[in-house]
């Protein structure tokens, strides 16, 4: 995941983006993702939208592009220095969106959404650390070799070996047949 957006949220009625810190009885403690980094409480009345749950519509009605992937595409093309702002010309913003997601749904993605996307990217790229996505080589290597703290699994298949039949192994001992209960004669 390039940017970790699991704890970053947009909150209705509050400008900007916020990092969710800790839940409270009346809402959640938040920290603004700006220069000040002020902490406050967002009440339970406010609608909290986590960025990792937001997606952009595409022409395929059943398909969307997660915001994390959109931010990754922007970072790959522009890095942290995105030349556009939310005040840029509408044609420039539309062209930008077309380069990032060529098949985005132009009927369901409004200009205000594109402006919000640009604003959010500027905030996230300036405040959060970009983590390069794992390449296929790293992914296959990590799948083949478990880490030191990872439990080894046999996926339910355990090969039988001569050690399993050892006399000192109580689990390897053969089970004796259960004794039959004596039947009482009815008299």
Fold of 54-127: Arc Repressor Mutant, subunit A (1.10.10)
**Longest Cα separation, the chain:** 103
**45-69 as b/e: b if 16+ CB within 10 A:** ebebeebbebebbbeeeeebbbbbb
Task: Identify whether the C-beta of residue 53 lies closer than 8 Å to the C-beta of residue 46.
Answer: no
Q: Give pTM, 2 decimals.
A: 0.66
Per-residue burial over 15-35, b if 16 or more Cβ lie within 10 Å, else e, is eebbbbeeeeeebbebbbbee
What residue ranges in the chain does DSSP mark as E strands? 8-11, 17-23, 27-32, 39-43, 48-50, 55-57, 64-66
pLDDT at 175: 56
**Phi, then psi, of 55 in degrees rounded to 5:** -135, 165
Report residue 109: phi and psi, to 5°. -105, 110
Q: Are 16 and 126 in contact (CB under 8 A)?
A: no
Q: In whole angstroms, how large is the CA radius of gyration of the chain?
A: 28
**Which CATH number fits the domain 8-50, given the four candidates 2.30.30, 2.60.40, 1.10.10, 1.10.3470?**
2.30.30
Would you list the domain boundaries of the chain? Answer: 8-50, 54-127
One digit per residue, the tens of pLDDT, for the chain of length 187 reads: 466 788 888 888 888 898 988 988 888 888 898 888 889 888 888 888 888 898 999 998 889 999 889 988 988 888 888 888 889 889 999 999 999 999 999 999 999 999 999 998 888 888 777 676 655 555 454 455 555 555 554 445 545 555 555 555 555 555 555 555 555 555 4
Q: Do domains 8-50 and 54-127 have the same CATH topology?
A: no
CB 108 within 8 A of CB 63: no
The Cα–Cα gap between 23 and 169 comes to: 51
């Amino acid at each position: 995941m390039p940017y970790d957006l699991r704890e970053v949220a947009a909150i209705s009625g509050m400008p900007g983006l916020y990092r969710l810190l800790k839940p409270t009885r009346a809402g959640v403690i938040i920290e603004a993702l700006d220069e000040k980094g002020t902490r406050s409480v967002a009440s339970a009345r406010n609608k909290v939208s986590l960025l990792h749950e937001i997606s952009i519509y595409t022409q395929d009605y059943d398909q969307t592009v997660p915001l994390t992937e959109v931010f990754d595409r922007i970072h790959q093309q522009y890095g942290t220095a995105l030349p556009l702002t939310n005040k840029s010309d509408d044609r420039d913003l539309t062209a930008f969106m077309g380069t990032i997601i060529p098949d985005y749904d132009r009927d369901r993605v409004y200009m205000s959404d594109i402006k919000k996307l640009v604003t959010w990217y500027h905030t996230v790229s300036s405040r959060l650390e970009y983590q390069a996505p794992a390449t296929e080589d790293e992914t296959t290597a990590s799948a083949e070799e478990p880490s030191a703290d990872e439990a080894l699994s046999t996926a339910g298949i355990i090969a039988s070996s001569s050690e399993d039949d050892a006399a000192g192994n109580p689990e390897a001992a053969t089970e004796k047949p259960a004794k039959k209960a004596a039947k009482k004669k009815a008299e």
